[in-house]
Amino acid sequence: MQEVAEFRMPKSVLYGRNSLEKLWEQSKKFGKRAFIVTDTIMEDLGYVERCIQQLNTKGITVITYNKVNAEPTNIHVLEALTICKEGKCDFIIGLGGGSCIDAAKAVAVLYTNGGEVEDYVQKDREIDNDPLPLIAIPTTSGTGSEVTSVAVITNKRTDVKMMMKHPSFTPQVAIIDPILTRSVPPHITAATGIDALCHAVEAYISKVSQSLTDVLALSAIESIMKYLRIAYEDGENMEAREAMMIASLQAGIAFSNASVTLVHGMSRPVGALFHVPHGISNAILLPTVLEYTKGSAVKRLAEIGRCLNKDLYSYCDEEVADYTLGEIKKLCFDLHIPNLKEYGIGELEFEKAISKMASDAIESGSPANNPRVPSYDEIKQLYRECFHYKYEDSIKTLGD
């Protein structure tokens, strides 16, 4: 029997096409002064102006911060926090990908609790006060940040991606409008989609998984494996876009409650030092890490395989686990996921950084949740394998 487990998610989730039009209904209960944390892409697409006009019409004043980029830093957070305080804002809206939402989370917590971002890593600083209310509006299908209690911010002083985890980082409201993802280009669709797959797979094999997260993780994996290729090839396919938004949400809730494992632990240092987008670095690492983990997670990986293919119940767990890995590798290959070398990282530069990356990965705590916990030297070797990884030579099926 499972021990008592805690399960958290936002108080309210609005989902459906054009659900963005309900922003004002959610906003009015939080106050009259809104602060939008976003980026210039959201402005160029007109999404920021849509929010401003909708809120202004209902008598809500809006202040914006648009300097967040693909890897939000403590500098972005402090800049945004200053503007938010000067504007005496009542609530925050995180509009964009996971970077914008993570930055918004940090601003919401620091606004009422003080300090700097790094104070909240490893729960070094207590969060005594409720954060400013936060409405999260994702425009990609991958990070799941709109429903998680996690925020990842890069420390510019140390080049370390800082992970903060606390219930206070969970948005009060998430608005999931799949129409906002139609403009996402294929390469970002691929990267964010594999990020969601990592969340779901890692949550399912995590040492601290629980029954509620298992259901969500398996459902997310099944949808992603079915619909990500379609969304990648045809961004206007709304059935695929909707399915990916739901899968991202499910995977986000799953990993927020069950934790991520080795993939994310190793991915954050790559992003911090080489500025590889989070989804891409996860995708690059996923096949190698699963191969390393397989021997300690055969049953779980087999359960994933049988979820993907109902005809595999007559095969043994080892065979179906191999099938699962093969299907994931095929997906990465079809989405043109590169290895680290192909991404443009110099081999000598990468080798010099491996020791720091391995240390930072262990320090994050995520590898400890992996079914097979790696040593420092094993993590270094896994990084080297990922540098030259080739999908063409690695794809297996039950027929091989």
| 282 within 8 A of 194, measured Cβ to Cβ | yes
Pairing of strands 160-165, 173-176: unpaired
What pLDDT is recorded for position 357? 97
Q: Does 86 share its domain with 233?
A: no
Q: What is the C-alpha to C-alpha distance for residues 197 and 192, in angstroms, rounded to an integer? A: 9
Q: Who contacts 23 (Cβ-Cβ below 8 Å, separation ≥6)?
A: 51, 54, 55, 93, 135, 137, 175
Has residue 5 been placed in a domain? no
Q: For 196-236, what is each residue's pLDDT tens digit?
A: 999 999 999 999 999 999 999 999 999 999 999 999 999 99
Q: For 43-62, what is each residue's pLDDT tens digit?
A: 999 999 999 999 999 999 99
Q: How far, rounded to the nearest angstrom, does the alpha carbon of residue 118 sit from its chain's CA centroid?
A: 20
Has residue 113 been placed in a domain? yes
Range of the domain at 257: 186-387
Q: For 291-330, what is each residue's pLDDT tens digit?
A: 999 999 999 999 999 999 999 999 999 999 999 999 999 9
Boundary residue ending a domain (181, 198, 218): 181
Which whole number is the average pLDDT over 351-358? 97
Element (H, E) at 393: none
- Give yes or no for residue 399 having a pLDDT over 80: no
What pLDDT is recorded for position 381? 97
Boundary residue ending a domain (144, 159, 181): 181
Single-letter amino acid code for the residue at 333: F
What pLDDT is recorded for position 195? 94
Q: What is the C-alpha to C-alpha distance for residues 252 and 243, in angstroms, rounded to an integer? A: 14
Mean pLDDT score of the chain: 93
Q: How far is CA 276 from CA 223, 273, 386, in A?
A: 26, 8, 14
Has residue 399 been placed in a domain? no
What pLDDT is recorded for position 1? 47
Q: Does 28 share its domain with 175?
A: yes
